[in-house]
Amino acid sequence: MDEIKIARKQSIRMTGLQNARELGGYITADNRRVKKGVLLRSAKLSTASEKDISRLREVYHLEKIADFRSDEEINGSAELSFITGTVSSEPDPAIEGAEYFHMPILDMQSLMQQFSGYDIDPSKGIDQLALLELAVSSGFLGDTLYFGFLDDEAGRRGYSRFFRELLNLSEGRAMLFHCTQGKDRTGVAAMLILSALGVPEDVIVEDYMLTNIYNSERIAAERRMLENSGKIPPDKTDAYLMAMDRVNETTMTNVIAHLKENYGSVNGYIKAELGVTDSELEALREKFLE
């Protein structure tokens, strides 16, 4: 099926909420189907319109919101703006009937130590290209970016909580999970739950790559900006775009391979590091498959 058709099929039709879609409708290896309208994913909720919020409440009966962002992303941080990309406060709006859960995947203070040898002075303002160059040259951005999400304590704690809340989701209610751009930490979360449900790897990667369809206009504008700057080598453009709104297939295939190598499978990781038992995996399948 054409990627654009898949993107339309998975869309939850929001007007302000970016990269907003669902996991419902995907077919598992044993020919079951993920329930529609239950597992929702998006970028930060601070851009949601009133119409979006009403739709989440009235159409999807939203019960839980899982926010994978750091405290610094939610509250704003000049000191860490070169990582978070913002200095402004962007908390999730309150949605009637929905409970908010903060599940940070990155420990920003620990991450900051990786950049201790670089000259960073927030008082001088934010040079977006300089910050991108720092992220690329330091090795923070790259095809192994997601390894840290799953290997570090903060990530294991956050994703473990994610599965706990999924297991406790009420029948007929939805859960929305998100980070800032809804592509990296959110993409890994989608990979984990789809793997747990038995969706084939190629479909999981296909779902991950839909970000490039949903963000196509933004990515095109960002590519023009980078090219027009005259400062970015052409072979580095995709790495820079990954810090913005684009995803690269190898980033997801690499982290899946990483889990297979170290745990035998993605589900091996889910059981060993996130504390999800075989009976709980079966409970998840019964809850979210039809």
What's the pLDDT score for residue 97? 97
Q: State yes or no: pLDDT of 118 exceeds 60.
A: no
Q: Burial, 208: exposed, middle or buried (Cβ in 10 Å; 0-12, 13-18, 19+)?
A: buried
Domain hosting 175: range is 3-107+120-285
Here the CATH number for the domain that contains residue 152 is 3.90.190.10
Q: State yes or no: pLDDT of 59 exceeds 90.
A: yes
DSSP string, 242-263: HTTT---HHHHHHHHHHHHHHH
What's the pLDDT score for residue 65? 98
What is the pLDDT averaged over residues 18-25? 98
What's the pLDDT score for residue 121? 56
What's the pLDDT score for residue 236? 80
What's the pLDDT score for residue 243? 80
In a domain, 113, yes or no: no
What is the pLDDT averaged over residues 261-271? 98
What's the pLDDT score for residue 105? 97
Token code pair at residue 287: 């809850």
In the chain, % of residues over pLDDT 90: 73
> Strand 21-22 relative to strand 39-42: parallel, antiparallel, unpaired?
antiparallel
User: Global pTM?
Assistant: 0.91
Q: State yes or no: pLDDT of 229 exceeds 90.
A: no
Count of the separate structural domains present in the chain: 1
In a domain, 265, yes or no: yes
Q: State yes or no: pLDDT of 25 exceeds 90.
A: yes
Give all strands (DSSP E) within the chain, no chain letters.
21-22, 39-42, 62-67, 99-102, 174-178
Token code pair at residue 170: 């009420």
In a domain, 115, yes or no: no
What's the pLDDT score for residue 1? 57
Other Cβ atoms closer than 10 A to 90: 16
In a domain, 134, yes or no: yes
CB 20 within 8 A of CB 31: no
Q: State yes or no: pLDDT of 38 exceeds 70.
A: yes
In a domain, 281, yes or no: yes
Output 179 or 244, whichever has higher pLDDT.
Answer: 179
What's the pLDDT score for residue 4? 92
Q: Is the dihedral of CA 183, 154, 195, 162 positive or negative?
A: negative
Output 139 or 102, whichever has higher pLDDT.
Answer: 102
Tell me the average pLDDT of the chain: 90
Q: State yes or no: pLDDT of 48 exceeds 60.
A: yes
CB 44 within 8 A of CB 182: yes
Q: State yes or no: pLDDT of 182 exceeds 60.
A: yes
Per DSSP, 24 falls in state T
Q: If pLDDT is split at 50, 70 and 90, which confidence band does 245 have?
A: very high
In a domain, 114, yes or no: no
In a domain, 290, yes or no: no
